[in-house]
Amino acid sequence: MEPITMYSTTWCPDCRHAKSFLKERGVNFREVDIEDDPSGEAIVIKANNGKRIVPTLEVGGRYLACSPFDAEQLAEELNIPLDL
């Protein structure tokens, strides 16, 4: 699987859902808190046409906005199992 970077915030419930979903399936990812990392925030804004949408995942150079969190869509995009 290609490396995954998740751009998130600590207060975002969709971010917590996405992190749990990935961890439960053993998917490794790097997390960037956009409130602590201005360059991460800039990436999110650029990837989402000027909007600050979290979580935003970067996978192989493409960006996926996951708000609202949709487990089925994320599983399909990452080609991972929906159900455990």
Q: Are 64 and 57 in contact (CB under 8 A)?
A: yes
Is the distance from CB of 75 to CB of 22 less than 8 angstroms? no
Distance of alpha carbon 23 from alpha carbon 17, whole angstroms:
10
Q: How far apart are CA 44 and CA 41, in angstroms?
A: 5
pTM (2 d.p.): 0.94
Q: What is the pLDDT of residues 51-76, one digit of tens each?
A: 999 999 999 999 999 999 999 999 99
- For domain 4-78, the question of CATH label 1.10.357.10 is answered with no
Domain boundaries, the chain: 4-78
| Least confident residue range of 16-20, 57-61, 80-84 | 80-84
* Mean pLDDT, range 30-37, rounded to an integer: 98
Residue 53 CA, distance from chain mean position: 10
Which residues have a Cβ under 8 Å from the Cβ of 69 and sit 6 or more positions away? 13, 14, 17, 18, 21, 55
Query: Is 40 a residue whose pLDDT tops 90?
Result: yes
